[in-house]
Amino acid sequence: MVTLEIGKNEKQQRLDKFLRKYLDAAPLSAVYKMIRKDVKVNGKRRKEDYILQEGDQLTLYLHEDELARLQKPRRVQHAKKQFKAAYEDDDLLIVVKPAGLLTHGNKQEHRNHLANQVLDYLIQNGQYDPRTEKTFSPAPVNRLDRNTSGLVIFCKNYEALQTFNAIIKERGRVHKRYLTLVSGLLRRPLSLTDRMEKDEEKNRVSIADEGKLMHTEVRPLYSTDKYGGFTLAEVEIETGRTHQIRVQLAAAGHPLAGDPKYGDPEVNRTVKKRWGLCSQFLHAWCLEFENMPEKYAYLNGKRVTAPLPKKLDAVCRDLFGRVEL
């Protein structure tokens, strides 16, 4: 018999959702069978949709060796810190991701990714202890492509993660602004609304008549006809789709400089030869908060920024001189 006490990072979850995470090596059928026969909450049988409360006593009628078999080993893969902290409080950590670093791990990269670096940082600072946490790990609520740099929001506890996962999907709460260098002279703002379809195998998005909505606002900041013509623009996304900025601006006739997937090959040869830029010029530079729920009202009006990385800043200085944002 194994007894667990539900803590602040497990509360307000359905019983089945918690057990699916806690017994992460068990088949789903086994989890639901256990709920019917081998699980009690505060000494009583509960249905799978029971909402766990902080302080609940969860009893699993399992031998410890069987419990170990139903759980994947929890290992913390230490990774060298490559990010900078832009803002931090008890619930949130907003970091600046460098280009070339994955936000999450994938099949090829299990250790050296941003989420793992943040986890290691919080462990070292005594803000997270994997030995006492049953199911929760600090996690990001937005993500950036590997070769896009800039601001990523991490939540340090389950309640914050639940809240910000919902907030980030709502318009008018967290404004996400990017800086990008595009091909050509962009003389006026653009309001881009399209629908997308995604080729999962090629990880490529295209404009379509049907599919998920994409909406992007583009505001030109600086333009020059040097080297064939470029514009530095600020972009705000109202939806967060895969490659949204890259595919919409390419479709609008202003592909991102250096973008190997949606860019102009001739422009890409120019930026590679002149500045050594081999990926898209795209940087998530600013987050602004408004209309936040009561617990996070202290963030209203908060503006978190990340300056351009040195390599991108050098490109701007060559094209436009000093850039003021």
Q: In a 10 Å sphere around its CB, with 0-12 CB exposed, 13-18 middle and 19+ buried, how is residue 277 labelled?
A: buried
The residue from 56, 120, 145, 194 that is catalytic is: 145
Say which residue, 171 or 282, is predicted with more confidence: 282
Domain 174-320 matching CATH 3.30.2350.10: the answer reads: yes
Split at pLDDT 50, 70, 90, the class of 104 is: confident
Residue range 109-167, pLDDT digits in tens: 557 899 999 999 999 999 998 888 888 999 999 999 999 999 999 999 999 999 999 99
Correct CATH for 2-69 of 1.10.3720.10, 3.10.290.10, 3.40.1710.10, 3.40.462.40: 3.10.290.10
| Average pLDDT value for the chain | 93
Q: CATH top-level class for 84-167?
A: alpha beta
Residue range 52-99, pLDDT digits in tens: 999 999 999 988 888 889 988 776 667 789 999 999 999 999 999 999
Per the structure block, which two tokens stand in for 123? 């462990």
Distance (Å, whole) CA 259 – CA 322: 24
Q: What is the DSSP string of 118-157?
A: HHHHHHHTTS--TTT-SS---EESS---TT-EEEEEEESS
Please check whether the two domains, 2-69 and 174-320, share a CATH topology. no
Residue range 10-24, pLDDT digits in tens: 999 999 999 999 999
Residue 105: pLDDT above 80? no
Split at pLDDT 50, 70, 90, the class of 48 is: very high
Residue 220: pLDDT above 90? yes
Residue 107: per-residue pLDDT: 63
Question: What Rg do the C-alpha atoms of the chain give, in angstroms?
Answer: 23
Residue 219: pLDDT above 90? yes
Average pLDDT over residues 277-293: 97
Distance (Å, whole) CA 44 – CA 48: 13
Distance (Å, whole) CA 237 – CA 215: 6
Residue 252: pLDDT above 70? yes
C-alpha separations of 103 from 153, 205, 307 in Å = 11, 19, 19
Average pLDDT over residues 157-179: 93
- The residue extents of the domains of the chain are 2-69, 84-167, 174-320
Catalytic annotation present for 264: no
Residue 77: per-residue pLDDT: 66
Q: How far apart are the first and last CA of the chain?
A: 61
SS3 content of the chain, % helix, strand, coil (to 5): 25, 30, 45
